[in-house]
Each structure stands twice: as C-alpha cells, then as structure tokens.
C-alpha cells in the first residue's frame, strides 16, 4: 500500500478510534499519494497565517446560511490561493465524464449521498494537483462535516486553522428564508432586511438586503425547501453534526470562532483583522524591500 494509504489506515485506527477504523475498511482503496502526511503542531499551538512550509491550509466551517462560501471565496482571491468546495469538485468531475463521474452520476440518480470514499478520492487528486502546480495553499469550504472526515483529512495534509463562522439562529432563519435565485441567470440574492437591536449582552445585527439587478427583478424564485420548518430542522441537524468537528480542531488548538454581526462591508475588514492578515502581509511586503 502506498505511503498515503498506510498513513490513512494508521490515522483511522488511532486518531479517531473505532468509528474511523470501520470507515477505513471501506476507504482502503484510495491509492493516490497526496501531501506529506500528518505534520504535527508545535508544542505551543497558535493561530498562524500559514504552516511551516509557507502554505496556507485552512478550512471554513459554519452552519447553512452563515456565509462560509462567500467569505472563503473572497479570502482565497485576496490571498491568491485556491478555494476548494467539494460540491464544485463533484460538478467538475461530472463535466469531465471520467470513470468516477459515471459512478457519481449513478449514486446521484438513486437519490443517495456520495460516500466519503468518493469525496476523498476527488479531494486527494485536487490537493495533489495544487502541490504539483505550486499553489500557495487552499481554503476548504464547508468540509470536513464529521469527525471521521476531519481525522482522515488530517492524515492527508495538516489543516493549520479552522475558521468557524457563527451567526445567531434567529438571524440564520431570516437569512435562509430571504434567499432568492434568479430563474434565468442563476444569480443568488437575499430579500431579508435584518435589523436586530442589542439585547442581553448580545451585539446588534444589521444586514441589509442583497437586491437583484433590474434585469433579474420579477424572475426571482425561492427554494422549495426554504420553509421555516425545514430551515430550523436543517440547522438542528447541522448543530448536532458540527460539534464533534469543532471539538476536533479545538482540542488541537486550531479552531477560531468568528461571530458575524453585520453584512459584508462590516464583516470583511473585521475578519481580516481577526486573522491578522493585513498586518502580516504588510510585514512580508516591508521585509522584501
């Protein structure tokens, strides 16, 4: 078995226990070697801009509607690194028409969720591609979703920081109920006008609507499953599943909690400041002169 495969097997047995060992038996045919496996943190864990090799390797976590895709995409462009979404990887594979794409399509046609085996196969090849082409790093959007996935990912390549975007439930519900999609161009917009006063020690939250341009007005539709009942149920399921993932990174000193209290204009500069990105970039720039 290749080195990456052996390390994955070891991780499945030791990093996250018997649950991962069961998973590994189903996952053992992953044959591609990816990044050097299992680089460990230093004795004093700290939030760092990048790893020891200079690469940024982060994950963005957060409940549905929190904006992880938005901020992961913006940050990856700002830092000139890859924004990797497993959903995008699946869609790209389907376009390629590869043997894996055929298997993916068969699973989707049956209305089933893709297995971890398939997801990690796609992800490992994408990470390997980034190493070969010399990418400066990546931000993984909305993955891992379980502690098992987090453990296997850890054996493939160390994640230096997990940014957990949080938003109060009442705001999440309003945001998700306000989501609209242009039936013609596919653009995403939001009609929710959120203005919640500060109370009980919690900060005020103001998020104005994200209006559609004139050409999309009158063509906006709401997702069929964006009802209050399904939204609340979805958030409950996420909360139950996300806690072990948050604990996984928290125990390793790599979890950064970031509460969103405003729209993009207010949140973006605060996120950069919290991550220390602007100051570190300035230091790098001045050091090169």
Task: Give tens-digit pLDDT for 139-163.
Answer: 999 899 999 999 999 999 999 999 9
* pLDDT greater than 60 at residue 52: no
User: Model confidence over 210-227: pLDDT tens digits?
Assistant: 899 999 989 999 988 889
User: Model confidence over 21-35: pLDDT tens digits?
Assistant: 444 444 444 333 333
Q: Set out the domains of the chain in order of their start, with CATH numbers.
A: 3-166+243-271 (3.40.50.300)
Burial of 244 (C-beta count, 10 Å sphere; 0-12/13-18/19+):
middle
For residues 77 and 132, give the distance between their C-alpha atoms in angstroms, rounded to a whole number. Answer: 20
pTM of the model: 0.74
Choose between 36 and 64: higher pLDDT: 64
- Classify residue 210 by its DSSP letter: B
Which of 35-39, 63-67, 169-173, 199-203 reaches the highest mean pLDDT? 169-173
Average pLDDT for residues 85-98, to the nearest whole number?
Answer: 88
Directed axis angle between helix 17-27 and helix 116-133, to 10°?
A: 80
Q: Can you say whether residue 185 is alpha, beta or left, with left for phi > 0 and alpha for psi between -120 and 50 degrees? A: alpha
Contact predicate 139/83, CB 8 Å: yes
Query: Which residues have a catalytic role annotated?
Result: 68, 145, 179, 223, 234
Residue 126 makes CB contacts below 8 A (sequence gap 6+) with: 84, 89
């Amino acid at each position: 078995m290749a080195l990456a495969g052996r390390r994955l097997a070891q991780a499945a047995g030791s990093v996250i226990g018997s649950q991962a060992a069961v998973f590994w038996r189903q996952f053992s045919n992953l044959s591609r070697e990816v990044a050097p496996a299992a680089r460990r943190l230093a004795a004093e864990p700290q939030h760092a801009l990048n790893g020891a090799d200079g690469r940024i390797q982060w994950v963005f976590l957060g409940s549905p509607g929190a904006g992880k895709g938005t901020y992961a995409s913006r940050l990856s462009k700002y830092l000139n690194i890859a924004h990797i979404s497993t959903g995008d990887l699946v869609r790209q594979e389907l376009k390629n028409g590869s043997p894996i794409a055929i298997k993916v399509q068969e699973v989707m046609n049956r209305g089933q969720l893709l297995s971890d085996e398939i997801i990690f196969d796609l992800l490992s090849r994408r990470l390997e591609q980034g190493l070969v082409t010399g990418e400066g790093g990546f931000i993984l959007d909305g993955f891992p979703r379980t502690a098992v996935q987090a453990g296997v990912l850890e054996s493939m390549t160390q994640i230096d920081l997990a940014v957990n975007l949080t938003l109060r439930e009442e705001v999440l519900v309003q945001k998700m109920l306000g989501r609209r999609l242009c039936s013609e161009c596919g653009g995403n917009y939001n009609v929710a006008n959120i203005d919640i006063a500060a109370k009980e020690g919690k900060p005020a939250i103001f998020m104005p609507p994200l209006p559609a341009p004139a050409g999309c007005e009158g063509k906006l539709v709401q997702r069929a499953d964006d009802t209050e009942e399904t939204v609340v149920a979805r958030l409950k399921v996420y909360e139950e599943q996300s806690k072990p993932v948050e604990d996984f990174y928290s125990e390793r000193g790599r979890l950064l909690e970031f509460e969103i209290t405003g729209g993009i204009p207010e949140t973006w500069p605060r996120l950069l400041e919290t991550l220390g990105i602007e100051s570190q970039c300035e230091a790098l720039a001045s050091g090169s002169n």
